[in-house]
Amino acid sequence: MKPFPHQPLSTYQELPPVEMLQRAESFRQMMQRRRTVRQFSNRPVERKIIEDCLLAAGTAPNGANLQPWHFVVVSDPQMKSRVRIGAEEEEREFYSRRASQEWLKALEPFGTDADKPYLEIAPYLIVIFAQKTSLDPEGSPVKNYYVQESVGIATGMLITALHNAGLATLTHTPSPMGFLNEILGRPENEKPFLVLVAGYPAEDAVVPIVTKKSLDEIATFL
Ligand code: IYR
């Protein structure tokens, strides 16, 4: 393939060191307020907010710029209900048969079970699909690279963007997720990655008291 034409890096903005420190700290504080929420309000959320957050996620670094993701935004009540029915079917299997005793024990403190009412209550379910292949300009399938990494990064950026915009999210991972292709009409080259539930938290939402690892535990400076 021909090399892309290149242009000067004109979007980079160097900041004075004091401002770098301030911004790093205030971003950390903002991120430390993010919590995964399991009780959502049915209050509507303007679609433009979701669109902007998706565009932010779409800037994620990814393998060979093939952008191997597709986001299906479900707000239609009937569609949400179908997703809930499909997810709860898999989850009942998970909680009663598929999960090991060890796995169930790890989940016990969170009190999760196969009931997923938020899939119908929250205004948006963003279903993220990973594309194993893309179509080249001639329409033939080409292999994508670092698909899991790329989609994982984009998903993290989406969660961050939604949190920054003032919305709560829940990463929901029914397993297996093949039913989502069928309900949402996605092609066979796409694999569901996860379901991101997004909206306002319920007024009486509660979250488990958990701690995050310290810097020493998560990082080594050499
Ligand atoms: N997918 C199930 C189980 C589950 C697994 C893990 I690991 C979690 O952190 C949370 C839930 C469910 O959504 O209930």
Q: What was the pLDDT predicted at 90?
A: 96
Average pLDDT, the chain: 97
- Ligand 1 pocket at CB < 6 A: 91, 94, 107, 112, 172-175
Assess if residue 7 is contained within a domain: no
More confident: 126 or 139: 126
Assess if residue 138 is contained within a domain: yes
CB atoms closer than 10 angstroms to residue 85: 14
Q: Summarize pLDDT for 141-185 with one digit per residue, the tens.
A: 999 999 999 999 999 999 999 999 999 999 999 989 999 999 999
Report the nearest atom of ligand 1 relative to the CA of 112: 14
Instruction: Answer yes or no: are the C-beta atoms of 131 and 62 closer than 8 Å.
Output: no
Which CATH number is 197's domain given? 3.40.109.10
Percent of the chain with pLDDT over 90: 96
Assess if residue 91 is contained within a domain: yes
Question: Is it the case that residue 40 has pLDDT exceeding 90?
Answer: yes
CA dihedral sign, ordered 72, 76, 81, 84: positive
Assess if residue 26 is contained within a domain: no
Which residue owns the Cα nearest ligand 1 atom 6? 107
- Under 8 Å CB-to-CB from 206, ≥6 apart: which residues? 39
Instruction: Answer yes or no: are the C-beta atoms of 35 and 168 closer than 8 Å.
Output: yes
Assess if residue 62 is contained within a domain: yes
Report the nearest atom of ligand 1 relative to the CA of 172: 13
Name the pTM for this structure. 0.96
Domain residues for the domain of 162 are 44-206
Q: How confident is the model at residue 135 (pLDDT cuts 50, 70, 90)?
A: confident
Report the nearest atom of ligand 1 relative to the CA of 175: 1
d(CA 126, CA 71): 6
- Locus of tokens 């209050």: 43
Average pLDDT over residues 198-207: 98
β-pairing verdict for 168-172 and 190-199: antiparallel
Assess if residue 222 is contained within a domain: no
d(CA 107, CA 186): 31
DSSP for 83-118? Answer: HHHHHHHHHHHIIIIIS-HHHHHHHGGGT--S--TH
List the structure tokens of 124.
């948006």
Domain count, the chain: 1
